[in-house]
Amino acid sequence: MQLVELLEIPQLVDACSRNGFYDEAMELATFVNGLERKHVLASEVRINSTTSSSTPINNGGYGVVQSIVDDVHVTLVGLRKQLLMQLSEESSLPKLLQTLGVLRKLDSILIDRQLENEKHNNFSSLFHSEDSYEILRKNLLKRIETTLQMNFLEARSVWMERCIREVLQGNTGHSRLTRPSTEGNEAPTPLHDEVAAGGGDLVLGPYGQGIELLEICRSSWFAVVTQYNALFAESVGEYSSRSLLSFWLENQLNILKEEFKDLLVNIDEGPSVRSLIEQCYSFSDRMSQVGCDFSGHIIPVFDEVVITRIGNTWTRGLSSFKQMVETEKFLVEVDDGLLEQAIPLFLRQDREEEKETEGGGEDSASRTTASSSLSGLMSYPPLAYLLNSFLIGVNFLRDCPLLSLRDQLLLLFEQVLRDLCNFLVLSSDDLKTKGRKFILDSMSGTTGAKSTFSGQNQNSATVSYEENMDKVYAAQIMDEVIPHCLDCFKIIFTLDTTSKQPACSVSTEDLMKKSHLQFLTNIKDIEENCRKVLVSGSLIPVNTTPTPTPPSPVAKFPASTTDTSPL
């Protein structure tokens, strides 16, 4: 080989690397390593032969070869970075196999040169035999293989993060996404919440971003796991390899959980949350095919969001109720700011003859009967607002009835009701004073006005107009609001023994029944505890009994939402 050709080797390796001729670059690198090894051996021979001589040793040729080898290996390090960047792009399995094959050859070349340099510069007992040399080389290759697995997973993480950022920035994905409709006869609603100004591009809302995020993770996670098992098939059974993949999946799951926490806060519709829960179960079921069932880790994220949202709704409703009772005013948010509205403790209802259409059938008659039992609360605006706030949270729970939240939500609702009853006891004198004017107006009014104040529901305990307003409110809460809301809990978390359920052991079925019986017992205890608080404040009689047949709460929910079974 001519000296000019030898000096052009670094440029040839660089050109092959930039143009994708990786095999040719590996051949040149192997040739350069062999050339370096020959010159190292030759220099050792010259050193041994001139040990006793004072003649200076000419190592000029070795210096040129060393410079060429160094330049080639600098190019190889750049080539390795370039190949790792290719792993962070969307690639098919054949291309990944090709890239990993080049990386393995490249690492092998780099290790061979490192071992030769160590053998030449630091001769030790590790290199006394070929067996020890091979053992060391195999250990280094195994270590490099582990590093290569880490590099592969890191590169795929970069690719996934880039895809997720595109979705969260509002760019639409490949799938045609629609929001689940709450009405059986309505077409699904598109998930794109708004149109960007000027360009007219569709922008995904929080629910659309969540669905698209799950779709990306579903395809990419499964692809990465299968690619990893195919690319590292020889070492996939080792402990370190399984640990790396498990750690990567755990890290990706934590990222998904954090993204979902941010998205779920901005989703107000219960059906949308339920749809995301179902999609997560489907995603987890698919990943279970490769040994990654994460349903037990992602569902607590929904639990936290659902219980926080419902709890905040109930707490805000109770706070507003207290404000209405104390000030007889309420602040309403409008476009320009806050608008103060007067909220009386009692509002007389004009009761005219209500003629319902006789051709409505039994369904119309049952709905009218069920809803009329609570119509009396319209005479008490603060109570009507309070019940509506409770039912907003219950409606959200009905759309996504997570069984794991049943006892927690019931305990939370018990705390809200206990706070409500304690407030009535503490505010009894204030209610009595403020309500005196409404009682006097009813006493001085007509018979119709008297009957309006003397009780709106035949099922509830009749309260005469001579009673104080605090007792009127206590009776309405005890006989209408609390039974209605607790009955909603019973319907949402009904133990369905007639529908087809997955096969389970007898012990599991017994535990479910015992848990449901305890749940019903807790509901009775809540009502009884509230009654004791009101009795202790002398707001209701001691002998007041619960309503024997409470009104059906189904009428307060949307007619289209019929599925009440927990997920």
What integer pLDDT is reported at residue 351 of this predicted model? 52
- C-alpha span between 193 and 209 (Å, rounded): 11
Q: Which residues contact 476 (CB under 8 A, 6 or more apart)?
A: 376, 377, 380, 383, 460, 463
| SS3 of residue 363 by DSSP | helix
Q: What is the four-CA torsion angle of 87, 90, 94, 97, rounded to 10 degrees?
A: 10
Q: Which of 554, 314, 267, 549 is nearest to 414 (CA)?
A: 314
- C-alpha span between 462 and 476 (Å, rounded): 10
Report phi then psi at 340, rounded to 5: -90, 125
Show pLDDT as tens, one digit a residue, over the chain (567 residues): 567 777 888 889 889 888 888 888 888 888 888 887 777 665 555 555 555 445 544 455 567 777 888 888 888 888 888 888 888 888 888 898 889 888 988 888 888 777 777 666 665 545 556 677 777 778 888 888 888 899 999 999 998 888 888 877 765 544 434 444 444 444 444 454 443 334 445 677 889 888 989 998 988 898 899 888 888 877 655 656 678 888 999 999 999 999 888 888 888 888 999 999 999 999 988 888 888 888 888 888 899 889 999 999 999 999 999 999 998 888 777 777 778 888 888 887 655 444 443 444 455 444 444 455 677 788 899 999 999 999 999 999 998 888 888 999 999 999 999 999 999 999 998 888 888 877 666 555 544 434 344 444 444 434 444 468 889 899 999 999 999 999 999 999 886 544 444 444 557 778 888 888 999 999 999 999 999 999 998 888 886 454 444 443 333 333 333 343 333
What integer pLDDT is reported at residue 93 of this predicted model? 87
- C-alpha span between 254 and 248 (Å, rounded): 10
Assess contact for 177 and 279: CB atoms under 8 A.
no
Assess contact for 298 and 260: CB atoms under 8 A.
yes
Q: Which residues contact 258 (CB under 8 A, 6 or more apart)?
A: none
- The burial class, CB within 10 Å (0-12 / 13-18 / 19+), for 191 is buried
Q: How many beta carbons lie within 10 A of that of residue 18, not counting itself?
A: 13
Length of the chain as a residue count: 567
Tokens, residue 160: 């996934």
CA dist 515 to 407, 498, 523, 530, Å?
A: 10, 18, 13, 23
Q: Is the pTM of this model over 0.75?
A: no
Assess contact for 431 and 423: CB atoms under 8 A.
no
- C-alpha span between 352 and 274 (Å, rounded): 42
- C-alpha span between 71 and 13 (Å, rounded): 9
- C-alpha span between 212 and 175 (Å, rounded): 8
- C-alpha span between 119 and 123 (Å, rounded): 5
- The burial class, CB within 10 Å (0-12 / 13-18 / 19+), for 373 is buried
Radius of gyration in angstroms for the set of CA atoms belonging to the chain, rounded to a whole number: 38
Q: Is the CA virtual torsion 96, 101, 104, 105 positive or negative?
A: negative
Query: Which residue blocks in 50-129 are alpha helix, DSSP H?
Result: 60-87, 93-121
Q: Which of 476, 441, 440, 425 is nearest to 455 (CA)?
A: 476
What integer pLDDT is reported at residue 415 of this predicted model? 95
Per the DSSP assignment, residues forming a β-bridge with 332 are: 339
Q: At what angle do helices 239-264 and 130-168 cross, to 10 degrees?
A: 10
CA dist 534 to 212, 417, 423, 527, 546, Å?
A: 51, 11, 10, 11, 13
- C-alpha span between 220 and 233 (Å, rounded): 19
Assess contact for 394 and 487: CB atoms under 8 A.
no
Q: What is the four-CA torsion angle of 192, 193, 195, 196, rounded to 10 degrees?
A: -100
| SS3 of residue 167 by DSSP | helix
Q: Which residues contact 452 (CB under 8 A, 6 or more apart)?
A: 348, 349, 351, 379, 442
Q: Which of 546, 522, 521 is nearest to 534 (CA)?
A: 546
- C-alpha span between 424 and 131 (Å, rounded): 88
Q: What single string gives the DSSP state of each residue in 247-285?
A: HHHHHHHHHHHHHHHHHHTT---HHHHHHHHHHHHHHHH
- The burial class, CB within 10 Å (0-12 / 13-18 / 19+), for 393 is buried
Tokens, residue 375: 């119509």
Per the DSSP assignment, residues forming a β-bridge with 334 are: 337
What integer pLDDT is reported at residue 72 of this predicted model? 87
Q: Which residues contact 508 (CB under 8 A, 6 or more apart)?
A: none
What integer pLDDT is reported at residue 388 of this predicted model? 94
- C-alpha span between 171 and 515 (Å, rounded): 46
Assess contact for 294 and 253: CB atoms under 8 A.
yes
- C-alpha span between 203 and 177 (Å, rounded): 12
| SS3 of residue 1 by DSSP | coil
The residue to which tokens 């990222």 are assigned: 255
What integer pLDDT is reported at residue 128 of this predicted model? 55
Q: Which of 480, 424, 377 is nearest to 416 (CA)?
A: 424
